[in-house]
Structure 1
Amino acid sequence: MGYLILGVAAALIGGTSPAAAGMVQPPPAAAATEPPRDITSILEPIIAKHKVPGMAAAVIQGDRIVMLGAAGVRAAGHPEKATESDLWHIGSCTKSMTATLCAQLIEDGRLNWNTTLEQGFPELAERMNPKWKRVTLTQLLTHRAGVPHNLDQDGLWGRVWNSNETPAKLRLMIAEYLLTHEPGYEPGTKYEYANAGYTLAGILAERAGGEPWESLIQRRLFAPVGITSAGFGAPGVPVVISQPRGHNAAGAPVEPSHDADNPAGIGPGGTVHLTISDWAKYIAIHLRGDKENPRRATRLLGPESYDALHTPPAGDYACGWSITQRPWGEGRVLNHNGSNTMWFAVTWLAPKRDFAVLVACNIGGDAGSSGADEAVGAMIREIQRGAPAKGSP
């Protein structure tokens, strides 16, 4: 049984959402000791309307969480409440994390934005389809590398899904097949969203960093940012509902298992889970690192690296970020969402206004995307009203 991670949702980047209209001011600065405002009461009617089992959300201003809340339950039909400290699967929002890891290795001198697949996979040089040889890391990270959207060629996806190999070996299985066959399209000629492009980028990072992507990103990215809750795949354990569970299309909870997430081999493109507060720590470094933030203060990476990560080579997709325009952000904003069909997560960053919104819920499909979209709009309206950083709405 297989689930493909969904890409950036058209509804969320197309201007049709409640978050698409209206000029706003950033939330007023709060004292450093002031706790975030509890927004649970804002989320509760939204999850009821959209039949979302559970949801967590946060608003950050600069590097501080100013609004935070969780509503609903961990699993439909069960009493355990969703909490702010629960783990949420963020799907393709993992992509910018992998791109950030690559930028760290570039600053180390171990990789280059122009590192090619021929350089990265010398053992495949003789068998590699010539069209792949000059494909660069940047093209992989911006979905312009020729990588096909799906991995269903010659039963590849089924083999990956059913394999018991380690995640690193699964990635090599994918790479060997792709690079010895014709690309899905002429590399460099167009944008086509492809999770496997991040699988290849993850291998380049592994080889440059000298360890599997999972441990490398924990050590190089998560630990320095202060993220302690991050893991991979569906959170929690079977039987005991200690964490939220993803829900299938029928709205039934799915126990953590082999079938509860995409194969671990495509981790660099979408298998991270973490708390909403830890995710906010990561989002904060990109919010403050962006060139248009008037309070720009780069951490972890230098300014040039954030510029490279946030600038599309063409079109509107950069390195794990969709770049679009919103009046409430005074122009340019960053966005991405993720879903393995059983979870949905989305984040919007408004660098000029120095705030960002994050939402995660434990169901995918229309329920997850529409519920998260309405939650984003509701929080932006709260910011627009100049709501205080704490207290009831």
Structure 2
Amino acid sequence: MRRRMLLGQAITICLAARTARAAPPDAASLAPLLHPMLGQHGLPALAAAAVQNGRIIAAGAVGTRRWGTDAPVTLDDAFHIGSGTKAMTSLLVGMLIEQGRLRWDTTVAEAFPDLAAGMDAGLRGVTLTQLLSHTGGLPSDNEVFDRLLGQSFLQPGNLDALRTWLVGQWSTQPLASPPGSRFAYSNLGYIMAGAAAERAAGSTWEELVAARIFGPLGLATAGFGPAARLGRVDAPLGHQIKPDGTPEPVLAGPNGDNPVIIGPAGTVHLSVLDFAAWAGWHAGEGRRSPALVRPETLRRLHAQVVAMPPRPDAAPGTPGRGGYALGWGLLDHPWSTEPFLQHAGSNTLNLALVVVQPTRDFAMVMQTNIGGARAETALNALAEAIYRQYGPARA
């Protein structure tokens, strides 16, 4: 997920009425693993948790909300998860499919019948499954997409209207490849899928995700946009890296996150404990409540659709190898005999990683409030360390 320096308004939506999640009293502290990584990788803060059989077995949060200050992070602090949001969008689409409002093969033309006549012929037949698996033939983010994001701030209406506007503006562009022929990581594809969900349900994507996912799963810290409120340091600030290599905090504001129109592709924030609950629910693959979708729908979301060619130049937060399902990557690691569902996410100021092993009902999540290669190196190393110490293979 790439952040763009565009003028606009950032929003934060929270479920403040709920009580923040607490780690079980017998959960192990991950602080001994996390503290050394702060200095080793130059991170402002780092949070992580491990979940076995739906229970948080280890958790920790160390470091500062703002580089150069004494503002310690806590387990309740929300971090931005970038493209980790995509799995929420695919789950929402699965819910609407079960309700008969959409189908896996619903096409872009069917989702937006009022725009169909002016669409590129190739785009008309692209399906929701293809959008959610990055196989719809749409190009990866490009200059046309960036230009339309900038123009979106000048358009009237609520976010659902803006996303429909974006679909209409883009719809005359030719596809980069035939639908279903290859993988190309496309944030635009997820915005289109989110807009289709908005059309089908009659609400904004943010309203739908808050009501149908955050609420039932008890994700009290979850919201959209920068985790910190405007003018405050009440959550970890994202950080960019200055030319001399030191982190520079970025306050909430127009440059504090992706443009809000991108929502379905990556604007969610939440605490490490809520992130762990989200991951643990997926690790159960339908074995635990709440039953947001049928087990077979969840398995479909987790099943590989396409193999990705290796992308050595993949930006931190975007998949660079393995397979892709619907909002989830599939990846093998040398430190486990079983594959993982996995997704990283970044708005370039933060980086998050969720790693799920449904075959063993195990999951790990980790978050840091800085982006870039060093954050990616740190989270990958941390994932291996947590799995070796707390994973199901430790015995």
Asked if Structure 1 and Structure 2 have the same fold, meaning a TM-score greater than 0.5 normalized by the shorter chain, the answer is yes
Match of 1:216 in 2: 208
Q: Which of the numbers 254, 261, 265 marks the counterpart of 2:261?
A: 265
Quote how far apart the aligned CAs of 1:56 are. 0.8
Match for residue 373 of structure 2?
A: 366
Q: Deviation at 1:184?
A: 2.6
Among candidates 111, 116, 127, match of residue 120 of structure 1: 111
Structure 1 residue runs without a partner (length 5+): 6-31, 291-295, 389-393
Return the TM-score normalized by structure 2: 0.85
Task: Tell whether the 8 Å contact from 1:145 to 1:188 is kept in structure 2 after alignment.
Answer: yes
Q: What stretches of structure 1 move > 6 A for 4+ residues in a row?
A: 385-388
Farther-moved stretch of structure 1 (229-238 vs 328-337): 328-337
One-letter amino acid of the counterpart of residue 3, structure 2:
Y
Q: 1:310 to 1:385 in 2, by over 3 A?
A: closer
Residues 362 and 392 in structure 2, CA contact (< 8 A), matched pair in contact too? no
* Equivalence for 1:293: none
Aligned to 2:3: 3
More relative contact order in 1 or in 2 (CA 8 Å, sep 6+)? Answer: 1
Letter in 1 for 2:152: V
Q: Give TM-score scaled by structure 1 length.
A: 0.85
Does 1:277 pair with 2:273? yes
Whether the 8 Å contact between 2:128 and 2:193 is mirrored in structure 1 is yes
Pick from 290, 294, 297: which aligns with 1:302?
Answer: 294
One-letter amino acid of the structure 1 residue matched with residue 388 of structure 2: R
Identity of aligned residues (%): 36
Q: What residue is the counterpart of 1:207 in the other structure?
A: 199
Distance in 2 between residues matched to 1:305 and 1:356, nearest whole Å: 19
Mark the runs of 5 or more structure 2 residues left unpaired by the alignment. 6-22, 308-322
Corresponding residue for residue 391 of structure 1: none
Residues 6-57 of structure 1 deviation map (CA, whole Å, 9 limit, x = unaligned): xxxxxxxxxxxxxxxxxxxxxxxxxx96431111121000111000000110
Which amino acid is the alignment partner of residue 111 of structure 1? L
2:178 is the counterpart of 1:186:
yes
How far residue 236 of structure 1 moved from its aligned partner, in angstroms, is 1.2
Of the structure 1 ranges 278-287 and 253-262, higher mean CA displacement relative to structure 2 is found in: 278-287
Q: CA deviation at 1:281?
A: 1.5
Asked if the contact 2:333–2:339 (Cα under 8 Å) also holds between the matched residues in 1, the reply is yes
CA distance in 1, matches of 2:293, 2:95: 7
| Contact 1:69 1:84 survives alignment (8 Å) | yes
> 1:376/1:45 Cα in 2 relative to 1: closer, same or farther (>3 Å)?
same
Do the aligned residues in 1 keep the contact of 2:4 with 2:255 (CA within 8 Å)?
no
Q: 1:161 to 1:148 in 2, by over 3 A?
A: farther
RMSD, matched Cα: 2.2
Alignment check: 8 A CA contact 2:133 2:306 kept = no
C-alpha distance in 2 between matches for 1:342 and 1:165: 28
In the alignment, structure 1 residue 341 sits paired with structure 2 residue 348: yes
Q: Distance in 1 between matches of 2:265 and 2:92?
A: 12
Partner residue of 1:354 out of 329, 346, 361: 361
Residues matched between the structures, number: 356
Counterpart of 1:255 in structure 2 is 251
2:167 matches 1:175 = yes
Deviations 1:173-208 (A, max 9, x none): 321122122123222211000011000000111111
Whole-angstrom distance in 2 between the partners of 1:162 and 1:77: 37
Q: Which residue in the other structure is 1:134 paired with?
A: 125
